[in-house]
Structure 1
């Protein structure tokens, strides 16, 4: 638990700090990449306002990050066990389950403090200067071209990971055999 707390310290420190972030950091909405262009099969960009797009992008980035983790954890856990990777969490000791779920909850809580307005007064409202997916480390300048490229790469890798993990799960459910 100390190790997880150590990893989350920069995020928590920024989330609880009273310093305001620079106003010059206007959020970048990424997703328009070659060769596909704007990937919007359900036409969300024309149906919703900019805030709603940021809200959906925030969800897409989080799901992509968790899928990228899952794409590593499922095969890695199968390497050291004879069980299916999709059943590994249920077989953990309760202390490890509590540690992993608690770490995710702590990360999400710190993330909400960083990017969301007060839920009592402004329900489901992102801060105006909040960059979707920002965990509060301020590693990049939003005006830089390289930042937009990195954000697009993260988004596309997350999309690919979501598709890949779905395939891994379906394969294990159908075949009842490990991936490796």
Structure 2
């Protein structure tokens, strides 16, 4: 390494400064072809940097650079492989390592939160899109305030039209949803079942399929609504 660094001057303006150490593997008398080859080298190098880190990680995790998951049966990550939301193509995906401690209680609490956020995001996304596609209702939203549906702007700007009483209603409904049922560990509500039988079936496999679809759609909606907020601002 020291020889490679010190054997040639690498000051600005020199060939070595641009990565040319005289090993003419990627070269050509045609400038366009040479540029193409050097660009390919850069792209391949970036891919290789990601690949080698991934192989290091897999080697450390499973004992094999090729990442044979079957060799790592003791992993706490495998504790939740049969839960809802473990879907192709990524399977059980936890890049931040939230489940690394293997705590079932923490996993279920986060899953309950994920389901709630996903449902809110799905409703918010539909609410964001609908006025843009179908237009707005005729008449007054609040006759006492003289506020028409047409007066409410789309998107985040609609927040400016919500009166204090409206925020109070929103908060009161949120509180009702939280305290109207027991959500302690082991209850149906802790698993996201609040008795609204929209996604259900007498067939366990079909019910699991529907609930998995809800999680997937909720995750997509969370990404969608954040993207729409970002574009709006």
Per the shorter chain, which TM-score range?
0.5 to 0.7
1:62 counterpart (108, 116, 122)? 116
Q: 1:102 aligns with which of 159, 165, 172?
A: 172
Unmatched tracts of structure 2, length 5 or more:
1-81, 137-149
SS class of match (1:45): coil
Q: Does 1:134 align with 2:193?
A: yes
- Give me the whole-angstrom Cα distance separating, in 1, the residues matched to 2:85 and 2:202: 15
Which of 64, 83, 86 matches 1:29?
83
Secondary structure at the aligned position of 2:191 is classed as: coil
Larger Rg: 2
Q: CA RMSD in A?
A: 2.7
Q: Which runs of 5+ in 1 are unaligned?
A: 1-27, 117-125, 174-180
1:85 to 128, 131, 155: 155
Displacement of 1:43 in angstroms is 2.6
TM-score of the superposed pair, with normalisation by structure 2 = 0.50
Corresponding residue number in structure 2 for 1:163: 223
Please give the alpha-carbon distance, in whole angstroms, between the structure 2 residues aligned to 1:55 and 1:39: 17
Q: Which has the higher contact order (CA 8 A, sep 6+)?
A: 1
TM-score of the aligned structures, taking structure 1 as reference length: 0.63
Q: Residues 100 and 50 from structure 1, CA distance in 2 versus in 1: closer, same or farther, beyond 3 angstroms?
A: same
CA 1:130–1:63: 2 relative to 1, 3 Å: closer
